[in-house]
């Protein structure tokens, strides 16, 4: 168990709908990262939050957004869903790093999203 | 543009054999190269990692070989066991860019099957 909790584990929804995925990081971790895993694209970095603020953006669509709350949990919101959004969505967390450090990112078990 | 290329896509190895997975990168700003192991239904978990100032790192049966000039690195699994059957991802992280930053670029993964 990595200590990162993601809910729900599975989600089935229709095209055009909006869903929210939730992530609780490991205790003490300030950074939360969201990744999308699909068969053809592999693991793609979407967005990172650090202590409530957006820190880095990757290949995140405009239909997707995220936030990190004061208690450090994070939510990924996916709207106007399309069939191609079906994928595994992973959240990872890591501790604060000062200077150069090999800070390991711990991944949750993911949310499998199926858009029908 | 895929920044980390991983091969092979799948690999079948006899129990006791050596499994070799290769990765190549393009971005010279990458300075940390972890390998992740993922079992079905689970999130990726850090297996072993290397910095570019060393050419090899060994942990138990797992060894990373790193060739900085060729921009290539590989994972060797010695005495492969059926329990090693999983998907393996190489990854790379750019130069440290701020507190909590751990933005990983992943290869597309190698599905390893170790047969008895």
Which of A35, A42, A58 minimises the CB distance to B108?
A: A42
Query: How far apart are alpha carbons B104 and B116 in whole angstroms?
Result: 34
CB within 8 Å: A103 and B44: no
Distances (CA, A) of B42 to A8, A59, A80, B31, B33: 14, 23, 27, 27, 21
Strand-pair partners of A115: A13
End-to-end CA distance of chain B: 38
Partners of A112 in beta bridges: A10, A88
- CA neighbor of B31 nearest in space, from B75, B73, B93, B104: B93
Give the model's pLDDT for residue A4: 96
pLDDT at A99: 47
A84 — pLDDT class (breaks 50, 70, 90): very high
Q: Mind telling me how many Å the CA of A22 is from chain B's nearest CA?
A: 15
Check residue B96 and give its pLDDT.
65
pLDDT digits (tens, 9 = 90+) for A30-42: 889 999 998 777 8
Average confidence score pLDDT of chain A: 91
C-alpha B16/C-alpha B78 separation (Å) is 7
Least confident of A72-76, A101-105, B66-70: A101-105
pLDDT (0 to 100) of residue B89: 96
Question: Within 13 Å and on the Cβ side, how many CA atoms surround B11?
Answer: 29
B100·A99 Cβ contact <8 A: no
**B33–chain A nearest CA distance, Å:** 10
Helix (H, G, I), strand (E, B) or coil at B16: coil
Contact residues of A toward B, CB < 8 A: 2, 4, 30-31, 33, 35, 41-45, 48, 50-51, 55-56, 58, 90, 92, 94-105, 107-110
Asked if B96 and A105 come within 8 Å (Cβ–Cβ), the reply is: no
Along the 116 residues of chain B, how does pLDDT read in single tens digits? 558 999 999 999 999 999 999 999 998 888 889 999 999 989 999 999 998 889 999 999 999 999 999 999 999 999 999 999 999 999 998 776 665 556 788 999 999 999 99
Contact B52, B33 (CB under 8 A): yes
Q: Which of B43, B96, B100 sits opposite A100 (nearest CB)?
A: B96
Q: What is the reported pLDDT for B48?
A: 93
**CA distance to B57, B59, B69, per residue, from A95 (Å):** 24, 23, 32
B106 touches chain A (CB under 8 A): yes
Determine, for residues A30 and B100 on separate chains, whether the beta-carbon distance falls below 8 Å: yes
Chain B residues whose beta carbon lies within 8 Å of the beta carbon of residue A30 = 99-100
Within 8 A by CB and 6+ apart from B37, the residues are B44, B45, B47, B86, B87, B88, B89
Task: Look at residue A65 and tell me whether its pLDDT is greater than 50.
Answer: yes
User: Do residues A51 and A30 lie in contact, with contact meaning Cβ atoms separated by under 8 Å?
Assistant: yes
- For chain A, give the longest Cα–Cα distance: 45
Mutate to test the interface with A, among B1, B7, B43 (most CBs of A within 10 A): B43
The angle subtended at Cα A66 by Cα A62 and Cα A70, nearest 5°, is 155
| The pLDDT value given to residue A97 | 54
For testing the chain B interface, which of A41, A55, A87 should be mutated: the one with the most B CBs within 10 Å?
A: A55
Per-residue confidence band for A55, with pLDDT thresholds at 50, 70 and 90: confident
Q: Which residue from A72, A108, A104 is spatially nearest to A90, judged by alpha carbons?
A: A108
> Would you call B100 and A44 a contact, using CB atoms and an 8 Å cutoff?
no
Look at A61-65, A89-93, B60-64, B97-101 and tell me which has the smallest mean pLDDT. Answer: B97-101
More confident residue, B40 or A24: A24
| pLDDT exceeds cutoff 70 at A19 | yes
Question: What's residue B27's pLDDT?
Answer: 87
């Amino acid at each position: 168990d990595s200590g990162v909790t993601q809910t729900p584990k599975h989600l089935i929804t229709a095209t055009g709908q909006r869903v929210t995925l939730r992530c609780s990081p490991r205790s003490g971790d300030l950074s939360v990262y969201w990744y999308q895993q699909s068969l053809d694209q592999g693991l793609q970095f979407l967005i990172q939050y650090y202590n409530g603020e957006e820190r880095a953006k990757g290949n995140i669509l405009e239909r997707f957004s995220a936030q990190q709350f004061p208690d450090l949990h994070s939510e990924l919101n996916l709207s106007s869903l399309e069939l191609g959004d079906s994928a595994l969505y992973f959240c990872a967390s890591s501790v604060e790093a000062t200077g150069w450090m090999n800070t390991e990112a711990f991944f949750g078990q993911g949310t499998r999203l199926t858009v029908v | 543009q895929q920044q980390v290329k991983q091969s092979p896509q799948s690999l079948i190895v006899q129990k006791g054999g050596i499994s070799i997975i290769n990765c190549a990168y393009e971005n010279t700003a990458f300075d940390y190269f972890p390998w992740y192991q993922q079992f079905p239904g689970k999130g990726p978990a850090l297996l072993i990692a290397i910095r570019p100032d060393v050419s090899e790192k060994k942990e138990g049966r797992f060894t990373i070989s790193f060739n900085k000039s060729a921009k290539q690195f590989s994972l060797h699994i010695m005495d492969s066991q059926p329990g090693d059957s999983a998907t393996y991802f190489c990854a790379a992280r750019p130069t440290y860019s701020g507190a909590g930053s751990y933005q990983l670029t992943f290869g597309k993964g190698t599905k390893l099957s170790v047969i008895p």
